[in-house]
Amino acid sequence: MKPRTQFLFVGNFLQKHRGSIGIAQKMTTWLREEDGITIPVVSEHENIYSRFIDIVKTILVLRPKRIFVDTYSGKAFIITLATFCTSWFTRSRVNCVLRGGKLFEFFQEYPRIVKFVLKKCTCYSPSLFLIDKFKNQNFNIKYLPNPVRLEKFEFVRENVNLFSLLWVRGFDPIYNPEVPIKLLASLKTKYPSITLTMIGPDRGLLNNCKKLATELGVIDDVSFVGSVPNEKLYTYYQTHGIYLNTTSYESFGQAVIEAASCGIPIISNNVGEIPYLWEDKVNILTVEGNDLDSYVTSVEFLLENNDKAKRMALSARTVAEQFQWGTIKSDWMKIISNSNDHK
């Protein structure tokens, strides 16, 4: 009989479809490149139902001893449920890695199905926010933050256009891409040379954003870049004046950490993980409810108080350094080598 696979990572390995690379794909790639540790992963299918079939088939064929499954809300929870149910046939131990910023809301809507899975698994999460939300549900959740390769995101501020805003997300309602465009229009009278760069894949709102920029008279001041490989993002973080994080949900804030590592001052909607990792006016400026006037005030503060902006950026870099790959890698190596890591 074919020997059992030790580990399997289940998640979204969709770089060839979306351009962006998820944290599980990054980490398994780094382990292979640095230590020769090959961990099978699944799935590269973009369609959720094709992914479902691929995951079930892979688990049945490989019969892994342990499975780490990235767990999100909504339809994506089907992947976790399929992984958990299939593991019964292979007697695999399932570890859920809770990543979705809307996961607690999903739990409130479907408590039985979420409890059915999570109470029987050891869970990890990079999100103190999620751990706090679930603290009264008797789930076994351990904190395991996402890693950042800081050597890829160096603190460099030598060629910065101060009057340039940067936004890095997908054009999806969750990320509110209209907000930076409205902000740019509001700032134009006081700062005529200010510009906005928007990076990310189209998930339905790109044309709406271009139309909005045209209507507000700022289309020539917005650069719609599209998707940029993660390893190239530093060139934008290091040359722009202010980073905007307008998401409605934030389970960790990988892009915020990477931006902070490069030294760009950050303004963020104060949601999810943000108040757990960051301190307003110390290493970040926060806005409640994506309030446009508050964004305007925050941008004006950074542009007119350069010394304070620099101090905040240095403090933010210190926060980012907590998540260096070397440190987080050690934590992961302990987990995957610990055969007793289960309830």
Question: DSSP secondary structure string, 261-304?
Answer: HHT--EEEE--TTHHHH--BTTTBEEESTT-HHHHHHHHHHHHH
- Predicted confidence band at 340 (pLDDT cuts at 50, 70, 90)? very low
150-323: in CATH 3.40.50.2000:
yes
Strand, coil or helix: 5: coil
* Domain 7-147+325-337 matches domain 150-323 at the CATH topology level: yes
Whether this prediction's pTM lies above 0.75 is answered by: yes
Topology of the domain comprising 7-147+325-337: Rossmann fold (3.40.50)
Burial (0-12, 13-18, 19+ Cβ within 10 Å), 264: buried
pLDDT digits (tens, 9 = 90+) for 265-307: 999 999 999 999 999 999 999 999 999 999 999 999 999 999 9
Q: Average pLDDT of the chain?
A: 93
Is the distance from CB of 106 to CB of 100 less than 8 angstroms?
yes
Q: How many Å apart are CA 285 and CA 303, to the nearest integer? A: 13
Coil vs helix vs strand at 241: strand
Spell out the domain ranges in the chain: 7-147+325-337, 150-323
pLDDT at residue 339 in the model: 47
Residues in the chain, total: 343
Q: Where are the alpha helices (DSSP H) in 119-247?
A: 128-133, 178-187, 206-215, 234-237
CB neighbour burial string for 281-304, b if at least 16 within 10 angstroms, e if fewer = eebbbbbeebeeebbbebbebbbe
What is the per-residue pLDDT across 112-169, written as a single tens digit (0 to 9) for each? 999 999 999 999 999 999 999 999 998 989 999 999 999 999 999 999 999 999 999 9
pLDDT in tens, 42-90: 998 888 889 899 999 999 999 999 999 999 999 999 999 999 999 999 9
Write 286-291 long-range contacts (CB < 8 A, 24+).
Answer: 290/176, 290/179, 290/246, 290/248
User: What distance in Å separates the CA atoms of residue 239 and residue 242, rounded to the nearest whole number?
Assistant: 9
Is residue 267 within 8 Å of residue 244, measured between CB atoms?
yes
Residue 342 has a pLDDT of: 42
- Between CA 275 and CA 280, with CA 277 as vertex, the angle to 5 degrees is 50
* Beta-strand runs (E) in 107-220: 122-125, 140-143, 161-168, 195-199
- Segment 213-248, tens digit of pLDDT: 999 999 999 999 999 988 899 999 999 999 999 999
